Amino acid sequence: MTTFRHAKLAVRLSLGAALAFGLATSLPAKADEQFFPLQSYRVGPYAAGGTGFFGGFIDYLNLINIRDGGVNGVKLTWDEGETQYEVERGVEVYERLKGRPGVAAWNPLSVGIAYAMIDRISKDKVPLITINHGRTDSTDGRVFPYVFPLLLNPYSETSGIVNYIATREGGSEKLKGKKIVVLYHGSPYGKETIPIYKLLADKYGFELEQIEVPHPGNEQQSQWLSIRRAKADYVVLRGWGVMNPVALKTAQKVGFPVDHIIGNVWSNSEEDVIPAGDAAKGYVAITTQASGAEYPVLQEVIKTVYGAGKGNLDDKKRIGSVYHNLGIVNGILNVEAVRIAQEKFGKRTLTGDEVRWGFEHLALDPARVEALGAKGLFHSINVTWDNHEGNGRVTFQQWDGAKWKVVSDWISPDWAALRPIIEKSSTAYAQERGIKIRTSGDDPVGQ
Amino acid sequence: MTTISEAAPTPARSSLLNANVLGIVLLLVLAYGLVPLIGSDYLMDAVLTPFLALALAAVGLNVLTGYAGQVSLGSAAFLAVGAYAAYNLNLRLPQLPLLADIVLAGGIAAAVGIIFGLPSLRLRGFYLAVSTLAAQFFVQWALTKFGWFSNDNASGVIDAPVIRVGSLTFTSATGRYVFSLTIVAVATVLTARLLSSQTGRNFIAVRDHEIAARVIGVPLLRTKLLAFGVSSFLIGVAGVLWAFAYLRTVEPAGFNLDRSFQILFIIIIGGLASLRGAFIGAAFIIVFPLLLSRLGAAVLGSVFDSGVLEMSQRIVIGALIIAFLIAEPRGLIALVDRAANVLRRLRSSQT
């Protein structure tokens, strides 16, 4: 009797073990998945940017999953870790999520976190995407094989803004003797453009003053008094988060004309101008992606994703806002990089290095952008192994009190003039760190 | 007379000492042997290394605030001084070994600490705390203002060098953890030795009654400045670990007033004037939120987004802090000691 019982137990145990073993082994073999770890920030002073951007990114990934069943059948997955835009939290989330299978790319949307990750992702061989921001010299893919400041690096942004001011004045020779004040956010992101503004000031002969606003920037009285004292012709607002509406309101208080404040790419959202109310009417800002929900891809997001109750934004009025659209564009770029890499490596879960190859061949011409339903949302991109920015175009938009109105064509920054400066900085970095410079796109680590 | 009074408590003390030494040895065996063996990279890189760095900073602040009774809100500034000093020493004097850089960086932090400790000769309590804020703001300002400190890096962010001692390089998660553990262990033992010496007793005398301390011949000036120096030295070394072993990058904004408060809360919650308290407090402030966050994400991650979870964690942690401090105002370490006493009594009543 007891032996029988023992035998039964043994059978049960072995069955259970087999089942558990089967489960364990079948897990990785399940459907192919590509994982996007998200170091998002939905709390803290920069939550407006975080919820909009990561909301748009997730909405687009959801669209691909629901509408197409993933990228060629490979499902897109993601997981969020809250960073509050703080470096050490970003690093913690990196360490937490990096071990997940099938990590495609990292999109931290924070220069500080991105800097902390450069060594780590280079070692782990996974791409790091810093759309519209990041470390400028990482544009040089010869030195930074895994870092992609897509669409617009800070130097291109600077060049675009200065060119725009020049057109407003009637030509770059008219910049001579003008006074431009750059009001920048006291963070790695804010400081990134200090040298390039100096350089352009020397080149065009305008007077330059760069004033820091300490993070988070909710007190700017003294800065704007200095701006008034300096009799500035233009103020470039290189802000982020709460600093932007405060700047616009303070400008109104000291009597600085709002249409002579030019916002950079992180001072260009609805969340920056609506809290400033009347003070923002007439404010101009640079952007790489238009706002509005009239583009086909956004209509599909509204119909397919929000229709299914899977939309990520709590406030549906924010669909089509600048940050949400940036998240959508970021989603398009990530997904297309995966798709392009799948063409080469097969329609399966890719390694980070394979996705890196995809990003290095991410060429979306206006026709392809239109096919993706994003015509007019952004212009085009052409990333190569040594140009990780991909020559994104910019446009300028003006706030009319209710919405952004585009007031310029798609403008090209002065890439040819910027490239030598970028290469100087990146080769210096390569020397300092003993990195061998790549000579072709085939060898990611330059060995 | 002295021989009698010292001889009497020896048996009891030595058994207690043995128990303590045994505990520490056991802990070190666990930390050196077991953790690297079974711990994941995540545990070592994202949990234990920052825990060790901030625990050391808390030990440093505890010397100043817990033992010597001088309240300081400038800890983050001394962390920053340590990190940036080590970076610049390593950059500008490449022939120096990294260990020397770390010790010198601690020394520089100590020098800065002593300068900002000077007001302690005239100010006490809240007034001193406010005056140490000067360190906080001045250091952050200086590091942002002068590009030299960050080698004129455009963003003001520095890349920490690889940790190298002799021919050993600590590039893996385990390596960085073991390196941090060694530095923290050595620094803590040295601090414990210092605190049990005459200097440590001077610290306590100054804390408990300044005038009485002066009357019995404790040199106030030297003792206070020494406390600031030792404390800043430890915090400076902790800053090097934070920058080199944990983040591997540094920006001045990472050393803001919030960080100073965090370290102050570690020692208040862990227990003032207790080295173990610094470690337990650091565990509560650094490790516990991470555990809670991971638990929250695992259990409720599909229901709420990460922002809501983050907010609820803050509420939980805030409530726990209040509950702990009501239950035991002397900190978590007092709770631990009480629990240990209960256990001991139970055991002795059985025998």
CB–CB of B154 and A116 under 8 A? Answer: no
- A348/B contact by beta carbon, under 8 A: no
- CB contact burial B180-194 (16+ within 10 A = b; e otherwise): bbbbbbebbeebeeb
d(CA B216, nearest CA chain A) in Å: 47
Shared domain for A306 and A271, answered yes or no, is no
Of B254, B227, B265, which Cα lies nearest the Cα of B113? B227
- CB contact burial B106-130 (16+ within 10 A = b; e otherwise): bbbbbebbbebbebbeebeeeebbe
Residue A347 and residue A74 in contact, taking contact as beta carbons nearer than 8 Å: yes
B132/B134 Cα distance (integer angstroms): 5
ipTM here: 0.82
Give the residue from chain B lying closest to A193, CA to CA. B154
pLDDT at res. B16:
56
Residues of chain B contacting residue A194, judged by C-beta atoms under 8 Å apart: 154
- A187/B contact by beta carbon, under 8 A: yes
pLDDT at res. A248:
96
Q: Which residues make Cβ contacts (< 8 Å) with residue B24, sequence separation at least 6?
A: none
pTM assigned to the model: 0.85
Angle CA A46–A49–A50, to nearest 5 = 80
Q: How confident is the model at residue B1 (pLDDT cuts 50, 70, 90)?
A: very low
Domain boundary (A287, A317, A351) is at A287
pLDDT at res. B350:
75
- B50-53 own/partner pairs: CB under 8 Å, 24+ apart: B50/A88, B50/A92, B50/B242, B50/B246, B50/B286, B51/B282, B51/B283, B51/B286, B51/B287, B52/B177, B52/B180, B52/B181, B52/B184, B52/B241, B53/B180, B53/B184, B53/B238, B53/B239, B53/B241, B53/B242, B53/B245, B53/B246
Cα distances (angstroms) measured from residue B11 to each of B1, B17, B18, B20 = 18, 10, 11, 14
Assigned domain for A402 exists: no
Q: Which residue has the tokens 């470690």?
A: B279
B35/B43 Cα distance (integer angstroms): 9
Q: Is the dihedral of CA A245, B134, A86, B109 positive or negative?
A: positive
Range of the domain at A422: 31-152+291-393+416-433
Shared domain for A221 and A137, answered yes or no, is no
B64/B73 Cα distance (integer angstroms): 11
Residue A407 and residue A398 in contact, taking contact as beta carbons nearer than 8 Å: yes
Domain count for chain A? 2
Residue B296 and residue B309 in contact, taking contact as beta carbons nearer than 8 Å: yes
Domain boundary (A287, A314, A345) is at A287
CB atoms within 10 A of CB B231: 32
Of B181, B226, B262, which Cα lies nearest the Cα of B63? B226
Shared domain for A223 and A304, answered yes or no, is no
CB–CB of A135 and B155 under 8 A? Answer: yes
Query: Which tokens belong to A189?
Result: 């992101």
User: What single-letter DSSP state applies at residue B243?
Assistant: I
Whole-angstrom Cα Rg for chain A: 24
CB–CB of A42 and B307 under 8 A? Answer: yes
Shared domain for A90 and A139, answered yes or no, is yes
- For chain B, the 3-state helix, strand and coil shares in percent, each to the nearest 5, are 80, 5, 15
Angle CA A248–A111–A349, to nearest 5 = 125
Of A361, A310, A375, which Cα lies nearest the Cα of A60? A310
pLDDT at B10 over 80: no
A403/A291 Cα distance (integer angstroms): 9
Terminal-residue alpha carbon distance, chain A = 69
Assigned domain for A264 exists: yes
Helices B257-270 and B306-327, interaxial angle, to 10°?
40
Shared domain for A147 and A160, answered yes or no, is no
Assigned domain for A13 exists: no
Q: How confident is the model at residue B252 (pLDDT cuts 50, 70, 90)?
A: confident
Residues of chain B contacting residue A188, judged by C-beta atoms under 8 Å apart: 155-157, 251, 253
B117/A33 Cα distance (integer angstroms): 57
Per-residue pLDDT of chain A (447 residues; tens, 9 = 90+): 444 455 555 545 444 444 444 444 444 445 799 999 999 999 888 898 999 999 999 999 999 999 999 999 999 999 998 898 889 899 999 999 999 999 999 999 998 899 899 989 999 999 999 999 988 999 999 999 999 999 999 999 999 999 999 999 998 899 999 999 999 998 888 888 998 999 999 999 999 999 999 888 989 999 999 999 999 999 999 999 899 999 999 999 999 999 999 999 999 999 999 999 999 999 999 999 999 999 999 999 999 999 999 999 999 999 999 999 999 999 999 999 999 999 999 999 999 999 999 999 999 999 999 999 999 999 999 999 999 999 999 999 999 999 999 999 898 899 998 999 999 989 988 988 888 899 887 765 433
Assigned domain for A305 exists: yes
The structural domains of chain B, ordered by start, are 12-350 (1.10.3470)
CB–CB of B248 and A42 under 8 A? Answer: no
pLDDT at res. A30:
57
pLDDT at res. B5:
39
CB–CB of A191 and B50 under 8 A? Answer: no
Shared domain for A301 and A245, answered yes or no, is no
Whole-angstrom Cα Rg for chain B: 21
Shared domain for A98 and A225, answered yes or no, is no
Assigned domain for A35 exists: yes
pLDDT at res. B348:
85
pLDDT single digits (tens) B257-299: 989 999 999 999 999 999 999 999 999 988 888 888 778 777 8
pLDDT at res. B23:
83
Q: How confident is the model at residue B223 (pLDDT cuts 50, 70, 90)?
A: very high
Residue A189 and residue A213 in contact, taking contact as beta carbons nearer than 8 Å: no
Assigned domain for A127 exists: yes
Shared domain for A56 and A125, answered yes or no, is yes
Residue A238 and residue A183 in contact, taking contact as beta carbons nearer than 8 Å: yes
Give the residue from chain A lying closest to B256, CA to CA. A215
CB atoms within 10 A of CB A439: 11
Helix, strand, or coil (residue B217): coil
Query: Which tokens belong to B61?
Result: 């602040």
What's the one-letter identity of residue B200?
Answer: G
Residue B78 and residue B239 in contact, taking contact as beta carbons nearer than 8 Å: yes
User: Quick one: what percent of chain B has pLDDT higher than 70?
Assistant: 93
d(CA A95, nearest CA chain B) in Å: 5
pLDDT at res. B156:
72
pLDDT at res. B164:
86
Shared domain for A194 and A144, answered yes or no, is no
Residues of chain A contacting residue B42, judged by C-beta atoms under 8 Å apart: 95-96, 99
Of all helices (H) and strands (E), which one includes residue A95? helix A87-97
Q: Which of B249, B294, B307 sits opposite A47 (nearest CB)?
A: B307
Phi, psi values for residue A364, rounded to 5°: -120, 105
Q: Which of A88, A192, A433 sits opposite B154 (nearest CB)?
A: A192
CB–CB of B248 and A116 under 8 A? Answer: yes
pLDDT at res. A301:
96
* Region of poorest pLDDT, from A14-23, B14-23, B80-89, B331-340: A14-23
pLDDT single digits (tens) B138-178: 998 898 888 888 887 777 778 888 888 888 888 888 999 99
CB–CB of A188 and B50 under 8 A? Answer: no
Shared domain for A331 and A363, answered yes or no, is yes
Assigned domain for A192 exists: yes
What average pLDDT does the structure give for chain B? 87
pLDDT at res. A222:
94
- CATH code where residue A159 lies: 3.40.50.2300
Give the residue from chain B lying closest to A100, CA to CA. B42
Q: How confident is the model at residue B220 (pLDDT cuts 50, 70, 90)?
A: very high
Residue B310 and residue B316 in contact, taking contact as beta carbons nearer than 8 Å: no
pLDDT at res. B14:
53
Q: How confident is the model at residue B105 (pLDDT cuts 50, 70, 90)?
A: very high
CB–CB of B310 and A87 under 8 A? Answer: no
pLDDT at res. A12:
53
Shared domain for A173 and A274, answered yes or no, is yes
Shared domain for A221 and A295, answered yes or no, is no
CB–CB of B144 and A186 under 8 A? Answer: yes
